[in-house]
Amino acid sequence: MGKKYLWVNFDEKWFHGWLGRANAKKCEQLGLEKNLTFLYHNKNHIDKTMVVAVTGYAFKESIENGGHGLKIMMHRVQGARIAKKRVRAGRKTQDGQQVYDGEVIREKGDVYMVDCNVTGSDAGTSDKPKFSLKDLFEHSLFPRLVELVGDGGEYEGYVPIIQGDNAGPHQDKTLVDFCKQYCEHKGWIWQPQAPQMPHMNNLDLAVFPSMSRRHAEFLRARNGNRMADPDKVWAAVKEVWGDLPSATIARGFILAYRIAKKVVDNKGSNSFLQGKDGSLHSDVRRDFHETAKGIKKKTVVV
C-alpha cells in the first residue's frame, strides 16, 4: 500500500458586519452618478469577528489522485475576561440619556468571553485576554488530528503535513518550537509555506472566498441593511462553515498544488496570476468529479 498523507492548512480571517453592494450601477442618462461609499457606526467602528479555520486534504500516494476534503475545525478568536463589577442592561431615557438600570447581565467575578487578538503563544491577562495559537494547537488541533490518524481513526495511518502562511503570529518562537517538537515526536511533518503567498494556502485561495460570498448572503437575508453585531456575524459564519462542501476544500488543495508548479516554472514570480498568456486557469474542475467527501479523478477515455 502506498504512502497516505493528510495535508493540513490553517489561517485566520476577519468577517465583517457590513455588506458591500457589488451590483450598484452608474447611469448618467438617468442622472445616477457614481458615489463613494462611507460606513458609519455609532461606536465609531465597524463590527467584525475573526475566526481561525483548519482544513485538510486526505490523499494516497499523489495529490493528483484525488482525495477527501476535511473541515477539521473552526474557532472564534475570543478570550476569557473576568467582570470587575456588576453590569446591567442599558436603556435610553426620554431626554436621550443613556442609563444602566436594567436586568443584571453579569455579576462581579463572572467569566465571560470577548473578541481579542491572535498571538503565537501569549494568552494575555484576565483584563486583556489574547487568543493563543499554541493553546489551540496543544488542546484542540493536535488532539483532533490524533483522533483522525491514530489507531481506529477515520484516516488511520495517514501522515499529517501541517502548514500555515507564516504570518506574524505563526512565527512565534514558542509556538514554532512546540509544534516542531510535537510533530517530530509523532512522526508528522511541520512545514510552513512561504510568506506573502496567499494563493498557496487552501483557505485564502478557495475556502475563505467561498465562505465570504455565502456569509454576505446569510447576513442580507437575516439582517437586511442593518449592521450585524459580532454574535450575528459569528452565527452566520458557523452556518456557512457547516454548509461548506468537502469538494470545495479538496479542489482548493489541488489548485494550490498546481499553482506551486507555476511558481516554480516562473522562477518564483507570480506574474502568471495576471493570466495574460492564458496560464491563470488550472482546469481542476475539468479533471475531477465531486464526491460526497471530496473529489475523484476522472477516467481518461482513449
Task: Supply the range of the domain harboring residue 159.
Answer: 4-20+36-75+122-271+282-297
Is residue 63 within 8 A of residue 253, CB to CB? The reply is yes
**In terms of domains, do 236 and 263 share one?**
yes
> What does the pLDDT read at residue 220?
77
**In terms of domains, do 82 and 210 share one?**
no
Q: Which residues pair with 57 in a beta bridge?
A: 7, 69
Residue 276 lies in a domain: no
List CB contacts of 67: < 8 A, sequence separation 6 or more. 57, 58, 59, 60, 250, 253, 294, 295
**In terms of domains, do 102 and 52 share one?**
no
Residue 1 has pLDDT above 70, yes or no: no
Q: How confident is the model at residue 300 (pLDDT cuts 50, 70, 90)?
A: low
Cell numbers for 143, please give them: 488532539
Residue 26 lies in a domain: no
Cα(267)–Cα(272) distance, integer angstroms? 11
Q: Residue 301 corresponds to which amino acid?
A: V
> What does the pLDDT read at residue 250?
96
Output the pTM of the full model: 0.85
Neighbours of 105 (CB within 10 A): 14
- The single residue listed with the C-alpha cell 453585531 is 229
Of 298, 206, 288, residue with least CA distance to 249:
206
**In terms of domains, do 171 and 50 share one?**
yes
The dihedral through the CA atoms of 179, 185, 186, 190 has a sign that is: positive
- 91's enclosing H/E stretch is strand 91-92
Residue 225 has pLDDT above 60, yes or no: yes
pLDDT tens digits, 139-155? 999 999 999 999 999 99
Number of domains into which the chain is organized: 2
pLDDT tens digits, 278-297? 556 788 888 899 999 999 99
pLDDT tens digits, 174-211? 999 999 999 999 999 999 988 777 788 999 999 999 99
Residue 221 lies in a domain: yes
> What does the pLDDT read at residue 25?
56
| H helix and E strand count, the chain | 8, 15
Q: Which residues pair with 190 in a beta bridge?
A: 162
Residue 30 lies in a domain: no
Residue 28 lies in a domain: no
> What does the pLDDT read at residue 42?
52
